[in-house]
Structure 1
Amino acid sequence: MARKHITLMIISTVPDMFAEHYFFIKNVFPDLKEICLNHDIELEYLDLFYSMTEEEFNTCRSIPKYFTSIDSDRTFYICFRGQKLGCIPTHEDVDKATIQKYPELVDYIGDMSFTELTVMHAIHPFEKIENGEVKKLPPVKHSLFYFRDDKYLDELSDSQREIYTCKPDCDDQFVQDLKLAMAKDLVVHNKREFDELKDNMANINVRKYKGIWDDNINFLDLLYGYTHEYARLTNQSVDDLADFYTKLSFSNTNGGFADFECEGKPFKDVMIEDFLNELKLEFPENFN
């Protein structure tokens, strides 16, 4: 049997989800990779945010980069969502070539954040025009969504909230909460729709989890740890990746998530179980 190869892609808002990314790459991914190797499956990890070049980051050209990455392997996809909506691109942020390739984007630019647009492209993909032909892309086969409980916000100071919630100069809180709820409902709606289809064209798994807050942790230490671990895993230069987070500026970086739990269980165990279940559905012949 030939060894299978898949790329596990991860997307979320930044920088509020770097603790989850660090937790995943340090505690979960190594076990997933070993499980896959034991069943003749080669597993790679791709952080869509870090897949951008500095130029793409500075010029808000993440949409074509994200879409292209997802289109390269529409098998597995992980998304973390917290209490941050993320930046909403304007028509000036999306170049003409991207609109020509994905014309349906014009209906959503100005209303959806970068993260939402990427999620939609994964689970309810836009039509793609390539060489003059219209292609209907299939949804990602296995999507794992994890929504973080908001109770930890009660423990945060106003300055700490700068990282984990929308900026004060955004729309009022009610509007932001509504937009975030709609973003999460997009996922739930598609899950309900796919669950009702007899051919089971795609699996969407949605979980709620909570983070354990610790004021003795420094946010930048988590970011530093993740960046170095990701650079090591992907054979990239730490200095190149560090260019992203050195541009981040917050008045208070004290405090971070020390651990996570999901439905009364260790988050690591839940995520491994979720991924293993999807692996068995995708490659049943490898688990006989």
Structure 2
Amino acid sequence: MDEDLIVLGAPAETPAAGGEVSDATEAPGGPQAEGGEVVQPGTEQADPANPTPKPDAPKGEGEEEGEAEKPKKRSGIQRMQERIARLEAEKADLLSRSAPTGDSGDRKAAVEKEIGAPPKEADFEDYAAFEDAKADYRLAKALAEQRLNERDAHASRAQSQAREAAIEAFHDRMDDAREKISDFDTVVKGAAEREIKPHVQELVVDSEKGGLLTYYLAKNPAELTKLNGMSPLQAAKAVGALEARLTLAKPNKATAAPAPAKPVTGSAAPGPDPSKMSFAEYEKWRAGKR
């Protein structure tokens, strides 16, 4: 239902062809406060969560005058991308070291699934035959482990490529939202230090409305806190419900109807009415018209 929609971004005024832009239209690049009100430069209110920084205290003895400025904090998107890259690198490292040197755990089960269980001496009457079987098994085991390692590496590369494609698509959705919501960067940067759990982060990145979700959660920290406290399955359901409700404000189209015609005014007296003339007056009037 329409009343359940969450509309993001103030509606922009679309002027009619040849018409004038409304005075209420926001100036390009002008910052906005929540609720769509235009904030004039120099009149922004201080954010309680991000108070105005105080002037630096005088430098003590031994401090250099030319001390470099502190690096700027990374944006929430940069932090998200770096965290994803770090997790992928850790996973790739674990996969590269996943083949154990001994026969234990899942790798042993995977190898035996490929080539069967190792030979047992009790199954051989001749000890020499048993030794030959063990040698053959060691060779088969080495080849099986090599195949398993190649499969793991291929799966890891495929997953990494899929994640890179998902992140690139997410950046495109962020750009789309940035073009349509004037205070997008301001709101998102203001939420850069908020915690976002990995499973919630993955849901936002993979969402078709990832840009709108990022803006909405940055503007509504209580919703982000709720998602962080949910299980992956619960969070997936909640994000799906949000996706169905989030929408962009539609532009207000100005009417293209022409202005009403002004009534004809003038000081000239109305002309004679032929219907009220005598025949002689009519003939005289008609002769004057020729």
- Higher RCO (CA-CA < 8 Å; seq separation 6+): 2
Which one has a larger percent helix, Structure 1 or Structure 2?
2
Q: Provide TM-score, normalisation by structure 2.
A: 0.20
Q: Return the index of the structure with the highest Cα Rg.
A: 2
Q: Provide TM-score, normalisation by structure 1.
A: 0.20
Which one has a larger percent strand, Structure 1 or Structure 2?
1
